[in-house]
A and B are shown apart, each in its own frame.
Chain A
Amino acid sequence: MKRWRTKREHQIYSSKLFQALCRSRRTSSSTSAKELHQTADRVLAITAKGTTRWSRAILAAPLTAGTNMKKHKKAKVTVHTRSRKPVVNREKKKLPVVERKLKALRRLVPGCRKLSCNNLLEETSDYIAALEMQVRAMTAITEFLARGEAQAPTDRLGSIGNM
């Protein structure tokens, strides 16, 4: 988890992401924000080197949009069981708060829907640290490129040294 805070990891991620973005630009004329986000996530997962479940889940996921819809439909089927229970359980029909929050957390962290509580919290720590690095790196790249745009190409190299 601590590695996400190191400069080294930040540099590795930044340059890998940039390479990936250049590659995708060569194949298609423009990149949608969604595709870019997907690329950024995949590069983040690769940088994790397969040590965490969330990173493996991201890499295993198909490269299409809107695949979450099916999963939501499945979740709704369980509503029918409510009618079988007698009225007595009405007060307890909601899970205890902590359980509910854990469930929400499981949905947020990739690949952790059926993970035990213990491991879930481990994965969450790592995932959050990685996301924070992702934000820092992408912010830096964007600002860097935006600055380069504003200046003449020959000046770009000079200003980069001051970063």
Chain B
Amino acid sequence: MDIDTGSCGRELGIKDEVIKKACSISIRAHQAPAEKPFLVDKIRGSPSQVVIAFSGAWTSDAWSTRDGTAKAFGETEVNLNSFPSLRSIGNDITAKVNEASMNQFLQIMEKSALRSEMDKATRDSKPIIFAGHSSGGPIAIYATIWLLEEYKRLKKTLTHGPFCLTFGSPLTTDRIFCHAVRREEWSDRFVHFVMIHDIVPRILLAPLSSTKEFLEQSLPYLISPSAHHKADSIDKSKLTALFDNVMRNASCVASHAACILMGSTNMLLDTMTKFVQLSPYRPCGQYVFCTGTGRLVVVKNPDAVFQLLFYSLQLVSESESQQKAVASLPAHLAYEDGLDKNLDMRNAIHLENLCELPLSSDNTMDIATKTIVDTLNDLNLSARARLCLRAAGESEKQKEDNQKKIERKMGMIRNALDDLEGYRTMCETRGMGYFDAFKVQKHEDDFKANVKRLELAGIWDEIIEMLKRDELPDKYEAEKSWVKLGTEFRQLVEPLDVANYYRHLKNEDTGPYMTKGRPRRYKYTQRWREHAEQLPRGSCGESCFWADVEELNLAVTSNQPRNEQMALNVANKLKEWHAKGEVKKDAFLKETALVTWWKTLPDNHGAKLCIKDLIES
């Protein structure tokens, strides 16, 4: 095993020269005049690559809040029109990012030549590497996501897809952002370099109000060109105060995350959380920590990265406080030199097997373990920090085990679905749609189908519950086999749920099925499919049109005015779904609820004409 002498590039799939180049361009980007928000450069090779580096800005108008409504950490939801993937699918939560940096990106997209640069590179099949140092980092991230979304929309392969390299970038994306990126399997395309003593990557873990002065006045002045030597001019006591503040907030949010990772059962955590403001930002993508000893540590587990961001900057002794605080600024400016040196040492290590990390140094160890122990020492990690990393590894493993557990139930689901399919065919031979047969519950088969329905509901509800509690791997909701099974299940079984709902008149207690009674197992699986096939939201309602039919029928019996729009909609959609084979012909058999309703329509009604052929054939 040669884990100790590997080059960083090989661990990450990027060449060392590319990293160096990207880094130096990113730092040069700060010198560019304001009207040129990014630099473009080429790296020769096969294939040759294009580097686009952003400078970003810590300017005050970008960070300050426009009105009183802004959040303490300046976060905002992303626009799903531009970034449709950036959400959790089933739970339906939109990702959040730092608003100021996102606005900068949108401005650049709108006003600069970035689009054309991207198009050019894509045309020549040259992979683009988006890069950014400091405030340029978040912009590079958004640009990468933007292009990845474009690739996805056009269904292009990612062989020449974009990469993103950031250096000392602050955290600006939340938990859902990370979840979505991992689900789309884009995570390995993001590599973030962090000097362990650099304060800036952690800075947004503190509320903006407390760091604003530093971010707006001192930092831009420092990272601007020819100012590197001015680092000394910063007021040391102010810097120490800032350092303490950021670290205290980092400790707060890292402890909170650790409690959750460890599966806290003490509800004091929930109660306390209501009193505390926690930064929403979490790391996303691979991280490379550069230790003071010239080691590069690659970490992929986002929970572990988050804990490391806090623990690696902890003080060793109390007296060190000021010293470390003062050192935390030059560290932010030293990426170019530092990386050059570290990469040349070819001393990279991928921190894996987190569950089995040694908690302390021991004399009796083989070389591989010793390397890990040294690495952990270099990262400045105490036993309690290592326990957090173990918990992060364990949580990841637990999620995978959970997926295996439910995958073993796939067979059971399959069998039950086959049985219900049989039930449907049998109803059809009886000349009835299975929706109506089930609603009447006359025969023993109807009852048996009901039992099958409930068995399936049990299994699926368990899966949904796991998703809600974030107990499944990020990629689960995009797994093709599950999306397919979920769709099959939904199309076949949901009509039975609708039938059951209206049979027991639950609509009278709780309201219409679609708004009040629809179980989550169908909402989630519908969203899975819509996401996988990039269909508009709510377009896959082929499994629940019966609910609309029921409501339409109820309107007829209670002499309410007909909802024309709904009627037309249902008819049009039905035609479409039938053409695609998603709604089977048994829906149009003689005595179904659908046909009953259809017959109440006047002859010249649009909806009547629309599905006339289907019903009469």
**Is B one of A's binding partners?**
no
Report A's interface with B, CB cutoff 8 A: none
